[in-house]
Chain A
Amino acid sequence: MLFSRISRIRSTGSNGCRWFLSHKPHLQFLNPPAYSYSSTHKVLGCRENFSWGLPALHGFRHNIHHQSSSLVEEQNDPFSLVADELSMVANRLRLMVVTEVPKLASAAEYFFKMGVEGKRFRPTVLLLMATAMNISILEPSLRGPGDALTKELRARQQRIAEITEMIHVASLLHDDVLDDADTRRGIGSLNFVMGNKQLAVLAGDFLLSRACVALASLKNTEVVSLLAKVVEHLVTGETMQMTTTCEQRCSMEYYMQKTYYKTASLISNSCKAIALLGGQTAEVAMLAYEYGKNLGLAYQLIDDVLDFTGTSASLGKGSLSDIRHGIITAPILFAMEEFPQLREVVDRGFDDPANVDLALDYLGKSRGIQRARELAKKHANIAAEAIDSLPESNDEDVRKSRRALLDLTERVITRTK
């Protein structure tokens, strides 16, 4: 199926978990795929649902000027802190991808229209970061006349959240381009039917170009550079995954580098961009970057673990999607350090389910899962430290956002799906 992260039936297998996005394969405007997804779809446990839908909780009005009576239960949920703002961003995103060509719009919009409840992780982090950063911009007492300025800054930071999502979705679309003859292109036919491949490439290009224009509109060339670099990283990461040698596949270093490119770069550099737009110093911008990067790495490592364990703490209840696609992740890499024999198993590939079982066996005997969790915790802690290192602020909104960001570093580790 075109837009699904599940499209890894082919043996080259090409994708580590992309966080925060999964999709139901219901695309009416596309031709039915050559293969069926229903069985594989159930198997996926590792992918978070990404949704722009309104949260189930009562909206917490994000007010940057003063604090209304705080609702304690919302304070415990970082997502509700920015819920209203998030729906604004979501709506704007939808508007931004409106185009005269309906096919393209529905293709691109598909990703922003998930009805399923999800965590909306990335934009949440970015919006929280925006507030957490707003320290020296304006003192509360000066907020009156500065309102317009503050609003404008906020709008610009929201723009980063939108751009980030567009880049993310564009890269998903392009990653899904297959080499098989799955295209049905009616060249010269009247009812021109775009194959899945065409739609994926074009829709991705469309989103990228809109992201470029939106980036340009921020009139900040440093931010343009940052986010352009992210695109390069996404491409590099995906290519790394497509073209690994055996040596590289078994290297923790290579794996972490690829993970940075594919997962952490986007969020780390967007956090940094948020800080730069907010006029923060280079040091503070680096802290924002470090938060994003380590949060992203922690998230991916737990994702890797969950692919094996699922919602239970024991092995084998997870979807095992990574390993079945020949993607070697942290737990296995750690296990290989304890059991060199596992290396041979890995080299043989995992088309044979017996080999998968063998690998799981070694994994179970090893401390692979635990070490992956430990590494995730380590990165989560670094992320938390980055928040703690931010310059002091007495602003209640700022403090709340920072607590929320800290909270996220916990949730990223303790989540079970």
Chain B
Amino acid sequence: MVANRLRLMVVTEVPKLASAAEYFFKMGVEGKRFRPTVLLLMATAMNISILEPSLRGPGDALTKELRARQQRIAEITEMIHVASLLHDDVLDDADTRRGIGSLNFVMGNKLAVLAGDFLLSRACVALASLKNTEVVSLLAKVVEHLVTGETMQMTTTCEQRCSMEYYMQKTYYKTASLISNSCKAIALLGGQTAEVAMLAYEYGKNLGLAYQLIDDVLDFTGTSASLGKGSLSDIRHGIITAPILFAMEEFPQLREVVDRGFDDPANVDLALDYLGKSRGIQRARELAKKHANIAAEAIDSLPESNDEDVRKSRRALLDLTERVITRTK
């Protein structure tokens, strides 16, 4: 439903722009739909004090409306996300995305940039339609974070590239901010207290961070537990992620290798060698687990509810904190 509405939302009178904008909303290319899943589950998990089940009858319209608004957040979040992907692909000169040609590859850089802007503007209009200025501020901040994160990634100095702190900050901006602030927005739309909204935020943030850390690991390990079977896409693009950063703490010599850059495949092999000798992969996994646990705690801290739907959703959210860690792709 959300996916269909998304497709409708990007309709425009200029055909080229329409096909550009809806490129990634086509069936089959929607990505893992992770984010919307989390948001919709959160919406249900939150719906605690809105209406008691016994009162649900006459309140149906209200509940439906709230639900629609929360679904709107899921749509907005996806539009913002895809907009940033479109721009990132232009910035990275990527030629594939989600298993198909990237939009910039298929339709040119400029159209990809314009399509991204278009999605962003539609997201803003949809945001405004919720008539909640706090939610508008939250998601506007996300947009800024996404740009900041991308900028950080593109303009790092050597110092910064080797800093775990810088990396985590960048990861927050690029990955976790969107989901954490959308979760918070879901809570706010649901009329929750600031404390509950913070719990939603913390869930999203830690889930996002855990997700990214495992992503980093999988880029090295792939579907096998051993090194080097992954796509190694990050390191080949000179992007230094958690496992390497941890390895650098154990092997300062690795720092020199990193500084030399990774245009030379021999350097990649050398880095992998150090990585294999280090506890880099394990420590990254451990950090991911730590964040997943914090996320789970946030759900456990939500105010009690006897509603079966609410409890189911919360179990599902907890389940996600497991899956995020154990996934192999």
Contact = CB atoms under 8 A, between A and B. Distances in A.
B329 interface: no
B153 to A, nearest CB: 10
Contacts of B124: 212, 215, 224-225, 227-228, 231
28 contacts: A104-B151, A171-B117, A174-B110, A174-B113, A177-B110, A178-B109, A179-B110, A188-B263, A189-B261, A192-B154, A197-B91, A201-B113, A202-B91, A205-B150, A206-B147, A212-B124, A215-B124, A216-B140, A217-B137, A224-B136, A225-B129, A227-B124, A228-B121, A228-B125, A228-B128, A232-B118, A240-B14, A243-B16
B133 interface: yes
Interface in A80-106: 99, 101, 103-104
Contacts of B114: 174, 235, 238-239
Contacts of B120: 208, 231
B156 interface: yes
B5 interface: no
Contact of B133 (A101, A197, A202, A219): A219
Interface string A185-220: 101111010100110011011101110110111011
Kindly name the residue among B132, B140, B158, B236 whose own CB sees the greatest number of chain A CB atoms within 10 A: B140
Contacts of A220: 133
B262 A179 contact: no
**10 nearest A-B pairs in the assembled complex, by CB-CB distance:** A228-B124, A225-B128, A231-B121, A216-B140, A188-B238, A232-B121, A224-B128, A212-B140, A209-B144, A188-B261
Given A205-B147, A224-B124, 10 more contacts: A99-B151, A171-B117, A177-B113, A179-B110, A212-B144, A221-B129, A225-B128, A232-B125, A239-B111, A242-B111
B17 A236 contact: yes
Nearest to B137: A216
Contacts of B64: none
Contact of A239 (B17, B132, B140): B17
Contacts of B87: 201, 205
Interface string A163-180: 000000001001101110
B128 A187 contact: no
Interface in B98-134: 108-111, 113-115, 117-118, 120-122, 124-125, 127-133
A220 to B, nearest CB: 7
Contacts of B133: 216, 219-221
B229 interface: no
Contacts of A224: 124, 127-128, 136
Contacts of A14: 110
A348 interface: no
Given A174-B113, A235-B114, A221 B91 contact: no
Interface residues of A, number: 54
Interface residues of B, number: 55
A314 B269 CA distance: 70
Contact of B158 (A190, A215, A227, A236): A190
A229 interface: yes
A231 B122 CA distance: 9
B144 A213 contact: yes
A183 interface: yes
B146 interface: yes
B90 interface: yes
A239 B156 CA distance: 33
Nearest to B133: A219
A189 B263 contact: yes
A181 to B, nearest CB: 10
A222 interface: yes
Contacts of B156: 192
Contacts of A219: 133
Contacts of A225: 124-125, 128-129
A171 B114 CA distance: 9
Contact of A213 (B122, B141, B260): B141
A232 B143 CA distance: 16
Given A188-B262, A221-B133, A236-B13, A231 B117 contact: yes
B306 interface: no
Contact of B128 (A103, A190, A222): A222
B65 interface: no
A177 B110 CA distance: 5
Contacts of B54: none
Nearest to B259: A190
B147 A197 contact: no
Nearest to A104: B151
Nearest to A180: B109
Kindly name the residue among A178, A227, A239 whose own CB sees the greatest number of chain B CB atoms within 10 A: A239
Nearest to B158: A190
B193 interface: no
Contact of A202 (B109, B151, B236, B262): B151
Given A189-B263, A212-B140, A239 B16 contact: yes
Interface in A97-143: 99, 101, 103-104
Kindly name the residue among B13, B108, B147 whose own CB sees the greatest number of chain A CB atoms within 10 A: B147
A210 B127 CA distance: 16
B155 interface: yes
A225 B91 CA distance: 28
Contacts of A234: 117
Contact of B109 (A177, A185, A205): A177
A59 B93 CA distance: 49
A157 to B, nearest CB: 18
Contacts of A216: 133, 136-137, 140-141
Given A235-B17, A239-B16, A187 B143 contact: no
